[in-house]
Structure 1
Amino acid sequence: MNAAGTLTRADLAESLHREVGLSRADASRIVEQILKHMCEALAKGENVKISGFGSFVLRDKGERVGRNPKTGVEVPIAPRRVLTFRASQMMRDRIVSAR
């Protein structure tokens, strides 16, 4: 993890390089392929579930009326598709015990 406390693609590739022994180039290619495959599945409308980690789920949100907080004027918000993440119970347990 970098100094900002964010795990990046480069961090994942470096971890593969160190722990599995792949070359840095191969590790980077694998990380990119996994992320590409996940993005393609989500773009096709498929959910992505990684056992022991969590699920990336697509939800369709209907049209609704929102309000501009500054002016109070009501504004229609168009229907859209959103991506949500739900951590697995195993991941939630790990996060709680890591405090």
Structure 2
Amino acid sequence: MAVTKTLIAEKIQDELDLSRTTTYEIMEEFLEIIKETIESGEDIMISGFGKFCVNEKQARKGRNPATDEEMTLPARRVVTFKCSGKLRELINS
């Protein structure tokens, strides 16, 4: 089962006894901060959870599997996630 923003917001709302509107505003602002930080190329580290890293990928050779045509795939940035040691222990226990 995928965890959605709605499900997360409902859990926060129940735990902290906040209004639905306030919960969604806080969550949207939190996600906006994450998006802006990643867009600027900075990493995000959340203690006890993990680190979102922005990595640069170089241009490389590729091919279209449907036509076998060779092409050059452009350079791009990708986001990776590395979980913290605490989270890894929790997952593996």
TM-score by length of 1: 0.85
1:16 pairs, out of 3, 12, 15, with 12
RMSD over aligned Cα atoms: 1.2
| Shift in Å, 1:70 | 3.8
SS of 1:69's equivalent?
coil
Counterpart for residue 57 of structure 1:
53
* Residue 67 in structure 1 maps to residue 63 in structure 2: yes
Give 2:30's match in structure 1, choosing from 26, 30, 34: 34
Deviation of 1:30 (Å): 0.7
Cα distance in 1, alignment partners of residues 65 and 52 from structure 2: 30
| Local SS of the residue matching 2:41 | coil
- Structure 2 distance, partners of 1:35, 1:41, is 10
What secondary structure does 2:88 align onto?
A: helix
Distance 1:58 1:36 in 2: 16
TM-score, with structure 2 as normaliser: 0.90
Unmatched 5+ stretches in structure 2: none
Please, which runs of 5 or more residues in structure 1 have no aligned partner?
A: none
List per-residue Cα deviations over 1:8-62 (Å, max 9, x = no partner).
1111111111111111111111111100111011111111111111111101111
Identity of aligned residues (%): 39
